[in-house]
Amino acid sequence: MPSFEIPDGPTTVALKTEAGFHKANAVFGVTNKTGEGLTARFSVQVQGNGKAEWYSIQGEPERPVAAGETQTVTVVAKVPATAPAGQHRIKLRATNVNDPDNDSTDSAAATITIPAVVKPPPAKKKPFPWWILAVAGGVLVLVIGVIIAVVVMSGGPKVPKVIGMDYATAAAALKDKGYAVAPEIREAAPDKPLGKVFKQDPAGGKKVDPEGVTVKLTVAGIPTVAVPGVTGLDYPAAVAALEKSGFKAGPAIEEVSSDKGLGLVFKQEPAADALADPKTTEVKLTVAVGETVLVPTVTGKPVIAAQALLEDRGFTVTSKVGKPSGEKPDNVLTQEPAGDTKAPKGSLVTLVVDPGVVVPNLLSPQVGGIAGIQALKNAGADIGNIGYTCGGTPEMIVGQRPEAKTKVALGTKVDIVIVSAPTVSKSVGTTAFSKSIVGCRVVADPKVTAFSAQVKGVNTLPQTTVKSVVK
């Protein structure tokens, strides 16, 4: 049993002619008889000499219809006025989209009558007005004469006026008339529209033959300068060339290239001759480098071993002396590039080496204990153990370790040996015949001991330090 019924609909449809068509609307009522919502597809069935393309469903041809709901469906007729006169019939069909082959319903047929085309009576022919040709000929001769006069009096083509246009539009207008156009020139012009041409040379309207003439256009905006071409230069030379024109160069961008000159710039951005504002533009430079190699870490190693390792990896090595740091003398303090980074094979690695300090000579000439300690401190060494002996000049240093002129790390402790002061005692006997006996006993000098305790750990000493301790 069909799910839809179409009880309401016209039996005839009257057409109205307008704008080259016979038009009409036919309204039908469609009801969903089932107890559930369905989706209906509406179409127009044509019988007789009518054509399906003359008819359409107003709105969506496929739409939901609720259970028991009646919807109005309008069929729109649009028959060409040139269609032959006659009659045909149409029906509205409602199809259940869930069962299109078995569940559809047609309305009662509605008759369409196409009226006959009424032809207007033929118009009477009028004699041709030959006088019009005579007048037109005279006007044509007059116009040609005026044109010739204007061309002769104007003396040649004029430069188009392009003030107020953007550069691209202005250049196109000039080229259309055969004029060459120079690259855009920008000037600061706060009172002019930004990005628009406000000066042209030659001026617009001026009589100028396009042959051999280049029109210069000045646009309001930030002044621009052509970027110098620096490809083929090494990085320092490229930077200098850019700075000469007011531009700044960014850090060198290294890129491995087997077919470019190593160390030379082979790419730049912006490109050469591009217009840019030097105050805000940083030019990126790409420099050709060879194969990159991992730089080994050599800090803390002896400089000779570090240099051998770097050269074995294909690097060029240079070294310079740094400041004593407490590392072993001639050990590497820093390196550039740092270890565990990649650098071009054959590139330079710079090493900073700890020079150490040299142990001063405390024995020749001989110096006293306090003076010797000060000499050690000022040389960058430190005082170690202090021993005493009886052989030698009293209160003078007679031994040191490490030896003089030995290169040691900053703060290395140096042991010294000092001659003890002599001791005096009286011999047993009568007062008249008693006499003093000079001897030696190993005794630490309290002044040296006090001075040593005061200055341990101090890198260098001013000369007044001795005077403040020894009184």
* pLDDT tens profile 189-216: 878 998 899 999 999 999 999 998 999 9
Other residues' Cβ atoms within 10 Å of the Cβ of residue 25 = 12
Residue 456, pLDDT score: 79
Does residue 234 sit within a domain? yes
Residues 391-411 have pLDDT tens digits of 889 999 999 999 999 999 999
Mean pLDDT over residues 238-244, rounded?
96
Instruction: Return the CATH number at 329.
Output: 3.30.10.20
Residue 163, pLDDT score: 96
Check whether residue 347 and residue 256 sit in a common domain: no
- In the predicted structure, residue 14 carries a pLDDT above the cut 80: yes
Residue with tokens 């009096």: 153
- What does the alpha-carbon distance between residue 350 and residue 307 come to, in Å, rounded to a whole number? 10
Residue 262, pLDDT score: 84
Check whether residue 363 and residue 446 sit in a common domain: yes
Residue 333, pLDDT score: 96
Residue scoring higher pLDDT (443 or 320): 320
Check whether residue 315 and residue 272 sit in a common domain: no
Which range of residues forms the domain containing residue 409? 358-469
Q: Calculate what percentage of the chain has a pLDDT beyond 90.
A: 69
**Chosen domain end from 332, 353, 374:** 353
Contact 29, 9 (CB under 8 A): yes
Residues 370-382 have pLDDT tens digits of 999 999 999 999 9
Check whether residue 9 and residue 49 sit in a common domain: yes
Mean pLDDT over residues 465-470, rounded?
36
pTM of the shown model = 0.41
Does residue 71 sit within a domain? yes
Does residue 342 sit within a domain? yes
Check whether residue 457 and residue 403 sit in a common domain: yes
Residues 159-180 have pLDDT tens digits of 999 999 999 999 999 999 999 9
- What does the alpha-carbon distance between residue 334 and residue 322 come to, in Å, rounded to a whole number? 9
Q: What pLDDT band is residue 126 in, cutting at 50, 70 and 90?
A: low
Residue 89 pairs with which residues in a beta bridge? Answer: 47, 111
- What does the alpha-carbon distance between residue 411 and residue 320 come to, in Å, rounded to a whole number? 21
Mean pLDDT over residues 132-150, rounded?
55
- In the predicted structure, residue 246 carries a pLDDT above the cut 80: yes
Contact 164, 196 (CB under 8 A): yes
Give the three-class secondary structure for 176.
helix
Q: What pLDDT band is residue 340 in, cutting at 50, 70 and 90?
A: very high
Check whether residue 395 and residue 304 sit in a common domain: no
Check whether residue 274 and residue 304 sit in a common domain: no
Residue type at position 280: T
Residue from 77, 100, 57 nearest 15 by CA? 77
- Kindly give, in sequence order, each residue whose CB lies less than 8 Å from that of residue 232, ignoring residues fewer than 6 positions away: 261, 264, 265, 266
Residue from 106, 73, 70 nearest 90 by CA? 106
Residue 471, pLDDT score: 29
Residue 118, pLDDT score: 63
Residues 1-12 have pLDDT tens digits of 899 999 889 999
Does residue 147 sit within a domain? no
φ/ψ region of 141 (left if φ > 0, alpha if ψ in -120 to 50, else beta) reads alpha
Phi, psi of 455 (to 5 degrees): -100, 0
- What does the alpha-carbon distance between residue 326 and residue 334 come to, in Å, rounded to a whole number? 14
Residue type at position 329: P
Check whether residue 443 and residue 367 sit in a common domain: yes
Residue 124, pLDDT score: 62
Residue 151, pLDDT score: 42
Other residues' Cβ atoms within 10 Å of the Cβ of residue 251 = 9
Check whether residue 397 and residue 442 sit in a common domain: yes
* Strand ranges, E, within 116-252: 180-181, 185-187, 197-201, 214-220, 225-226, 248-249
Check whether residue 63 and residue 15 sit in a common domain: yes
Residue 175, pLDDT score: 94
Half-sphere exposure of 347 (CA within 13 A, CB side): 21
b/e for 367-378, b at 16 or more Cβ within 10 A? bbbbbbbbbbbb
**Beta strands 316-321; 348-353: pairing state:** parallel
Check whether residue 282 and residue 368 sit in a common domain: no
The CA–CA distances, whole Å, from 47 to 50, 74, 111, 360 equal 7, 18, 9, 127
Residue 335 pairs with which residues in a beta bridge? Answer: 351
Does residue 152 sit within a domain? no
Does residue 172 sit within a domain? yes
Instruction: Return the CATH number at 186.
Output: 3.30.10
- In the predicted structure, residue 57 carries a pLDDT above the cut 90: yes
Contact 293, 345 (CB under 8 A): yes
**Chosen domain end from 53, 81, 114:** 114
- Kindly give, in sequence order, each residue whose CB lies less than 8 Å from that of residue 358, ignoring residues fewer than 6 positions away: 379, 405, 406, 407, 408
- In the predicted structure, residue 137 carries a pLDDT above the cut 80: no
The chain-wide mean pLDDT, for the chain, equals 87
Q: What pLDDT band is residue 134 in, cutting at 50, 70 and 90?
A: low
Other residues' Cβ atoms within 10 Å of the Cβ of residue 29 = 15
- What does the alpha-carbon distance between residue 90 and residue 64 come to, in Å, rounded to a whole number? 23
Count up the domains in the chain and report the number. Answer: 5
Residues 64-95 have pLDDT tens digits of 999 999 999 999 999 999 999 999 999 999 99
Give the three-class secondary structure for 173.
helix
Instruction: Return the CATH number at 36.
Output: 2.60.40.10
- What does the alpha-carbon distance between residue 334 and residue 151 come to, in Å, rounded to a whole number? 83
Check whether residue 304 and residue 349 sit in a common domain: yes
Residue 122, pLDDT score: 62
Which helix (H) or strand (E) covers residue 316, if one does?
A: strand 316-321
Does residue 407 sit within a domain? yes
- What does the alpha-carbon distance between residue 75 and residue 215 come to, in Å, rounded to a whole number? 66
Does residue 155 sit within a domain? no
Other residues' Cβ atoms within 10 Å of the Cβ of residue 170 = 24
Residue type at position 316: T
- What does the alpha-carbon distance between residue 239 and residue 232 come to, in Å, rounded to a whole number? 12
**Chosen domain end from 310, 334, 353:** 353
C-alpha 279: how far from chain center = 18
